[in-house]
Structure 1
Amino acid sequence: MAGRHPSMPKKAWMEEEDKVNASPVQQPDELTEVQVLQAGWDQTEQEQQQQQDRDQKQEQEAIAVKLDERVVGRVVLSKHAPNIVKSIYQWLVSNTEESAQHRLDKSLLELAEEHPHDVVVTLLRCSPSCDRAAATMWRLMTSSARTARKVMAELCCVLKDWPLHRTSTSDGDDTDVFVLAATKVLREILQPTIYPMEVEAHFPLLLLVLLFQISASAQQTPEEVETLCREWQQEESIPTSPSRFAVLTLKALLCRLGYDMLVLELGKKNAWETLVNAESHHWAVGQLARVMRRIARKERQRIVLRLEKWLSRNEPCWEVPAMAFLVEMLASDDLRVESVRVLKLFPRYLRSQCTVMRQLVLRGLTTLSKRPYTARKMEFLLPQIVELLPEVEGDVAGNALVVLNRVLKELDVHMASPIALQLAERLPTFFDNESSYTQLLSIHFFRDVMNFVAGSGKEQLKRHVRQSVIPLFFHLHDENQQVAKAAEEALLNAANFLKRKQLANLLETQQKWRLSECLLEDDSWRTDGYLRQSLPYLQSPQQPLRLEAVRFIGLIARQVEDWHEEELPIIYEAIQGMTDDISSSVSSLATQTLFIIRAAVSLPRTAPGVRGLSYRLWKAWKTKRSALSFLCCCCRA
């Protein structure tokens, strides 16, 4: 080691010596070599990955070439079509590059054109959720004029069923297809950037199948369908309710066809929310149909013809919403020919056990009967509507009466006569209906019926008219002034028809206080029948009718001398039961009438058998049975 230079301080020299004796430091050229080795390793991995990608692409391209070879330019056997569809779908699932999305377009289009059923059903089975790969295939098939019509037709076939579409493909696979999967596909292709023109051609069918799908899914949804919806909800933000998902799809359909304002209007009316409620669904369907009456006549014709076709089949799950939509469509005045065509559907649905269905049919007939031309075509329905009368109540019965009245007015009197006789017998039962609308219609209609009977039928009609006199007499005192006026007009017609001049004269001169005496004087031999008809009015909710019933029954008791033993206890007990009436006027009159009866008639001692009969009749009256109940009691005795 060299010695210290004289000019260098000792301390500095010692530090320098320490540096020299220290371990050698790694040289720059050694570091570069490590880095090069590391870089070489990374480059090898990258090359390997690139090679794998190249191999995979070659493999994918080989698969694509084989698929093209099987499809393009060759005739594919039906049994092979489902497997090829699956292979194309799997190819798209594993090949996510944008540039490869359309590699197999030509093969798929040729396959869809030649085997649309196998392609549509197989793809729905492969991807019920309509994932990226499936959506790519659907977009291609529905955007091409070559295949869109066939594919949409197959989708519509699936959409018509609920909850599963039962079918099989050419390879023997008969697995059911989720109808909701087809709905999701429809929503996918209704996007503005994809929307195919073929949707317009299938609009009536798509509109109706979505409506009926909402109806069915609102009532009951199988667990497997709900599971499918939950899976969708995890993938994307969509409603878990199948009915609400169908509503969204329906709204999208209407918007794509340019009916945005109708969608907004129905939203303001809360129709979309009502549509998913099972109990109010048919009402919301009718509301939608009323709004749809504004669309073009050609579209409405197509909808009505589609509804006619469906209602001609036996498809119970769709019947109520289909009829609800049809009834509203028939209100369009420019669908005259279609309205006559659908009349043949109504006999079957008038016999339906479903109350809502009968209501809808009668409402539709009420609308159609407004047009004289259509009303004349409805003659064949009259017997069935007459038979239906005892089974319907309230405003539904009122609609039936309106239809009968309008149709009878369009018929020749000889053709109308048989139906009019049946109505003369049944109409009085509606004089006391709870619905004032039906009550008023029945009285007006009874007045008109007397003009619809001709020839020998008039003798038969007399019996029914006589039986209507007492109910009409009591309704002269009805609290509803319209009903009272109608009863007065009908009673005047009845008096003229029966040629009871004194009764007619009292009505014309407004001497109503003398009518009760006139009725008993002119027709004294019918006092027993008058008694049975009067008793139910003692239980009327209207105070004026109860008051008149007490007065009239008391008059019967005073004027009839030759009493049967069984009848006097009936009238006595009936009046006595009114002495505690809620109305002081009624109870006071009943008390006075009892005194008059006791003074005029001495109650005889009745034999045990007669006393038992009287008790049974009294019990029947106390339980508010009809006048027929009293008659039946007497007959059985």
Structure 2
Amino acid sequence: MLSDSEVEEVQPASERAIQHDYNEMCQTGPQESSSKMSRNGGQNYCYGKLQFVEQIMALYNQTVQAMEAMLKCLLSKNRNTTELFLLLEQVAPWMTSAQAHERARAVNTYVFLLKFAATNPMFHMSPECPRLGLLIGQLCLLLNDPETKIGQQAMEGLYFLYSLIQRQKDTEMKTDSLEVDQYEMSKRILGIYNPVRPHQNAVQIIKEFEPHLTSKQMAEILLTALDYLKEANRHMTAASHTITSVIMECYKHKLHEQVPEIVDKIYQQLGSIYQFQDRHIMLKVISHLAHTYMAEVCNALLNCPFPIDRFSAEMWYVLVKTCSDSELTVLVNILLKKVQLSPKATGDYITPLVAASAFCKLLSTPKCSDVALYIYPRLLMALLVQVHYNIRHNVIGITVSQEEYEPVSYIVMALKTLLLSVRCYYEFAVIDKEQGWELLTSCEDHHRGVGLLARTMLQSSYYFDLQRILYLLVPFLERGDEEHQITAMAFFVELLCMPEARRLPEQYSFQRLKRGLMNEIPVIRALCIKGLVTMANWPGKEVNLLLPTMTKSLSGMDGRLFVESVAEIEKILDGHEGADCICNITLSLQELFSDNRESVRASAIYLFGKMVRRAKKNNKLVIRQQILESMVPLFLHLQEENSDISKASSYQHIFLSKSKYALEESFHFLGWKPPKQIVSWKAWYEHEDILDETCRYLVGCPQVQKQQGALQRFLYQGIFYTESPLLSIKRASIMFLGFLVLHMDSTVGKEDLDLVSQTLEGLMHDPEVSVCVTAAHAQDRVFAILSKQKNGLESNNVTAASDTAAEKLMRNSRSQNAFRNSSSSLFRVISLWKSANIN
């Protein structure tokens, strides 16, 4: 049963007003009350009001009594800690209410239940109380409540709670002394409530409870104090500050196992706390924990949601700001180990990404400039390897605003931050200008991006840093998987030009690269070739003897890798070994003439010319055959056009100059002296006289006539290129067939003519109109030769038969008017093309 003072305390303002009127009427007596009520509005009204007040008070008292009876009954049935805390949990939301009377009712219920449990001899207190820390924290915080009555009741609840714990420890305690002696002892130990300095009570309470608390329960007190910061109540803020300070300064050793939970709680609440003082209290906990449990705090921060948002970023900044230099070194070493993890081995692609993002936050602070230099080589290589992991395995699985993101972008950002933090401004600018970031994030070009970074660093970086990287790479190449090895090798071969590289033991340099020529990974083989070529000038290194092995290692390489490797090998080609290698290289280069990449085609054609130039006469027969196999493709590529109009002019000049160079070297090797006009950049469809002269020369050249089947080989090469995906090459090959057949005349066999005719017939149905028209004109020339052979009009010399009907038809076909007005097949092919488009 509540006393009158307690009832007054817990009643709301409206109830207090009614109670005031009721008390006044009781003191003045019925007559005075009647006269007073009469003056205020009538006797009946006042008696009615008095009756209403009595009913309200009776209802309130009955409600309080009923609730207490209900709680007592529930707790009597299950006299254990679990039931007690289950009941308290239902009232807990009102402990933080903004209304004083609601907080008072809630704490009064807390005290009632705790008193019943403490004075009930049959109540069982479990050894590990599940929410003891939460309860202690709530009551300690209420000691600072602006309502003194609430603070007094909270203190009383702590007395009963301490009694329960003491009874658990002292099983021989007499049951008849529980209510008096134990309460007085708890009051003496915990101290008397001091409304002026309640924080002293909190300090004493935590001190006395601490021996009875587990690590989890102590963490619950801390988390409860932090949770109350969301209420933005200055009294609660002061209490939270007191509790967190006491725990961090005196009892931090009990929080080791709970660090992840504490860090996660702080992260979750930062978004709902706006007062600077409150945020400072919360973030100070992070810095205190880090001084003792740096690894645990770091790992807990890495487990925060990724990508790092502004709240976790704020936690990282505070952590760095409050760390000493030695602690900062420990922190970056922990993060570095996370970045060095192999996602393929662990299956965890997220942890290295989070660690890289954390490095972005750390290295962007001025305080970390020195520590950045300390970890620079190791972190640089770790980030480059992580870039390769992520682009090779296309890791997607985390969404930002419902949109997929590129994981590799976070690692590249960390790489950029690292370069800027160690003042590699020149390297950063060059890589940005040369599109090095795009190379690094391309699966095909990653090793090229790494090589670009290494070459740029050789030009301007601090030499001591490069030495550190070089000596780091020596053991780095001995371990790791494919991505690890490719990245390390790409950097290593660029550093071989350093004088310090010559001091490396042979097993770590020359022998390692020699073994790499047999590696199953084509990129590794290409990088080993580049490294060995760099070592060609080293004293005592007979790299030329490895030319046959290098040539063999070219097998299976991608077109661009092949071209780059050949360009490296070309630097050391010499002697008999070089001549043997050229035969194998030129044969492979021919296969790249039709590569779908313009840069690969151009490089392959140019290197073919250089290989021919280097070829020795003792391989003349083999090289001659290879040149004859490449003659028509080289002529056709003179007609290649760039599809990009904006780059057409520069491309035309560079590409065609390489094709022209290869043709001229081929003619020089064969000993041919063709007319200058046949090696021309002019388009055949505009200057048919050039194509006419070219075919005339190929047919009439004595050296070609000596080669049995050479013209037939040219014919088949032209047929092959009619299937080219490049429109300009396709048209040029069709025109070449028509003029070549015309000049071959009677020397071309019936079977070959039929094959050419069937090929052109199929091309007359091509969806591209220019191909259809070109095929129709070529077909006319083939029909002319077929007609001539059918009528028995054969001639051994095309020039001597210049007045024949076939030659007249050829000359007429060169003129634009004749093209438009003769040839029935032209009209037929246009009709076919129109019908194909309609269908």
Q: Structure 1 residues 362, 194: CA separation in 2 closer, same or farther (over 3 Å shift)?
A: same
Q: Distance in 1 between matches of 2:534 and 2:300?
A: 54
1:313 paired to 2:476: no
Q: Deviations over 1:236-262 (max 9, x none)?
A: xxxx99766656655554454344686
Partner residue, 1:143: 325
What amino acid maps onto 2:660 in structure 1?
Answer: K
Partner residue, 2:584: 422
Q: Deviations over 1:71-122 (max 9, x none)?
A: xxxxxxxxxxxx989279699999x79999999999x5xxxxxxxxxx7655
Q: Deviations over 1:98-151 (max 9, x none)?
A: 999999999x5xxxxxxxxxx76555456646999999998887623xx77676
Q: Structure 1 residues 164, 62: CA separation in 2 closer, same or farther (over 3 Å shift)?
A: farther
Aligned residues: 503
Please point out which of 138, 151, 161 is paired with 2:341: 161
Please point out which of 181, 186, 194 is paired with 1:45: 194
Structure 2's unaligned 5+ residue stretches are: 1-31, 34-147, 154-191, 214-252, 267-280, 305-311, 642-651, 680-692, 793-839
Q: Distance in 1 between matches of 2:467 and 2:489?
A: 15
**What CA RMSD, in Å, does the superposition of the two structures yield over aligned residues?**
6.1
**Offset at residue 153 of structure 1 (A):** 4.3
Q: Structure 1 residues 443, 601: CA separation in 2 closer, same or farther (over 3 Å shift)?
A: farther
Q: Distance in 2 between matches of 1:573 and 1:98?
A: 82
Q: Distance in 2 between matches of 1:185 and 1:509?
A: 64
Partner residue, 2:112: none
**Offset at residue 419 of structure 1 (A):** 1.0
Matches within 5 A, 1:116-135: 122=296, 124-125=298-299, 128=302
1:493 paired to 2:676: no
Q: Structure 1 residues 349, 48: CA separation in 2 closer, same or farther (over 3 Å shift)?
A: farther
1:547 paired to 2:735: yes
Q: Distance in 2 between matches of 1:590 and 1:133?
A: 78
* TM-score normalised according to structure 2 size: 0.45
Q: Deviations over 1:481-513 (max 9, x none)?
A: 5255324423322323xxxxxx44767999854
**Offset at residue 299 of structure 1 (A):** 1.5
Q: Distance in 2 between matches of 1:180 and 1:299?
A: 25
Q: Structure 1 residues 265, 382: CA separation in 2 closer, same or farther (over 3 Å shift)?
A: same
Partner residue, 1:594: 783
1:517 paired to 2:690: no
Q: Structure 1 residues 443, 389: CA separation in 2 closer, same or farther (over 3 Å shift)?
A: farther
Partner residue, 1:86: 256
Q: Deviations over 1:455-490 (max 9, x none)?
A: 864454454345445555666777865255324423
Q: Which has the higher contact order (CA 8 A, sep 6+)?
A: 1
**Offset at residue 296 of structure 1 (A):** 1.2
Please point out which of 39, 45, 56 is paired with 2:206: 56
Q: Secondary structure at the match of 1:45?
A: coil
Please point out which of 692, 696, 716 is paired with 1:532: 716
Q: Distance in 2 between matches of 1:120 and 1:253?
A: 22
Q: Structure 1 residues 56, 550: CA separation in 2 closer, same or farther (over 3 Å shift)?
A: same
**Offset at residue 518 of structure 1 (A):** 2.0
Q: Distance in 1 between matches of 2:712 and 2:439?
A: 55
What amino acid maps onto 1:203 in structure 2?
Answer: Y
Query: Is the Cα contact below 8 Å between 1:471 and 1:533 reproduced in 2?
Result: yes
Q: Distance in 2 between matches of 1:492 and 1:255?
A: 54
1:195 paired to 2:378: no
Q: Deviations over 1:371-415 (max 9, x none)?
A: 97379747636645555366533x54432332232231xx3x112
**Offset at residue 516 of structure 1 (A):** 1.9
Q: Distance in 2 between matches of 1:570 and 1:137?
A: 79
Please point out which of 452, 467, 492 is paired with 1:301: 467
Q: Structure 1 residues 378, 536: CA separation in 2 closer, same or farther (over 3 Å shift)?
A: same
Query: Is the Cα contact below 8 Å between 2:454 and 2:495 reproduced in 1?
Result: no
Q: Distance in 1 between matches of 2:287 and 2:659?
A: 80
Which piece of structure 1 moves more, 519-528 or 152-161?
519-528
Partner residue, 2:119: none
Q: Distance in 1 between matches of 2:441 and 2:593?
A: 39
Q: Distance in 2 between matches of 1:214 and 1:314?
A: 15
Partner residue, 1:19: none
Q: Structure 1 residues 579, 56: CA separation in 2 closer, same or farther (over 3 Å shift)?
A: closer
Higher gyration radius (CA): 2
Q: Structure 1 residues 379, 549: CA separation in 2 closer, same or farther (over 3 Å shift)?
A: farther
Partner residue, 1:257: 422
Q: Structure 1 residues 524, 142: CA separation in 2 closer, same or farther (over 3 Å shift)?
A: same
Which piece of structure 1 moves more, 335-344 or 586-595?
335-344
Q: Structure 1 residues 590, 260: CA separation in 2 closer, same or farther (over 3 Å shift)?
A: closer
Q: Distance in 1 between matches of 2:610 and 2:440?
A: 42
Q: Distance in 2 between matches of 1:404 and 1:574?
A: 40
Q: Distance in 1 between matches of 2:345 and 2:375?
A: 19
* TM-score normalised according to structure 1 size: 0.57
Q: Distance in 1 between matches of 2:708 and 2:449?
A: 57
Matches within 5 A, 1:167-566: 178-179=351-352, 190=363, 192=365, 194-195=367-368, 197-213=370-386, 216=389, 249-250=414-415, 252-259=417-424, 292=457, 294-307=460-473, 309-318=475-484, 337=502, 344=512, 348=516, 357=523, 362=526, 373=537, 377=543, 380=546, 383-385=549-551, 388=554, 391-393=557-559, 395-408=560-573, 411=574, 413-431=575-593, 433=595, 437-450=599-612, 452=614, 457-469=619-631, 471=633, 481-483=656-658, 485-496=660-671, 503-504=672-673, 513-519=696-702, 521-524=705-708, 526-538=710-722, 541-542=728-729, 543-559=731-747, 566=751
What amino acid maps onto 2:468 in structure 1?
Answer: R
What amino acid maps onto 2:467 in structure 1?
Answer: Q
Q: Distance in 2 between matches of 1:441 and 1:57?
A: 80
Q: Structure 1 residues 601, 427: CA separation in 2 closer, same or farther (over 3 Å shift)?
A: farther
Query: Is the Cα contact below 8 Å between 2:764 and 2:772 reproduced in 1?
Result: no
Query: Is the Cα contact below 8 Å between 1:534 and 1:549 reproduced in 2?
Result: yes
